[in-house]
Amino acid sequence: MLSKIIFPFSGKIVKIFRLSKPPILGIEIEEGRLMKGMPLGLIVDPIGKNENCNVIKIGTVETIEQNGLTISTGTKKNGCVGVKLDSNYTFDKIQENSNIISYLTSESISILDEFFKKEISDIEWKLVDDIKNYLHIK
């Protein structure tokens, strides 16, 4: 079960350090928790108005670094972090200022609700709802 825990996260790619394997991105954490092992999705917004968005799964967080030190979890307090991804994605749609989110599933949301309800803030639950909308989860 622990491998299925995915916390809500949203952020913005502020720097692309490398797109080849392994891709390394500079990410500004906007809300939630960015964690090692977390699957990430790239929000592709064809008309720039958050209508008809698609989310493409771009990989799993392999490492998170800040100021040259590896951290296991990043939050808004950390600001910008470097992220190395384990990924097979071709990265043809990634650009700086692209928005990314944790790639939640119905199962991961149920686990959060059942086992972590008190640990998740109201802001994070709102983020869960936003991510569900992006991913078309009912």
Cα–Cα distance between 14 and 55 in angstroms, integer? 18
Per residue of the chain (138 residues), what is the pLDDT tens digit? 556 789 999 999 999 999 888 999 999 999 999 999 999 999 987 555 556 678 999 999 999 999 999 999 999 999 999 999 999 887 777 889 999 999 999 999 999 999 999 999 999 999 999 999 999 898
Q: Report the predicted TM-score, pTM, of the whole model to 2 decimal places.
A: 0.90
The CATH homologous superfamily for domain 2-135 is Translation factors (2.40.30.10)
97: left (phi over 0), alpha (psi -120 to 50) or beta: left
Contacts of 60 (CB under 8 A, 6+ apart): 37, 38, 39, 40, 85, 86, 87
The sign one gets for the Cα dihedral 87, 91, 97, 103 is negative
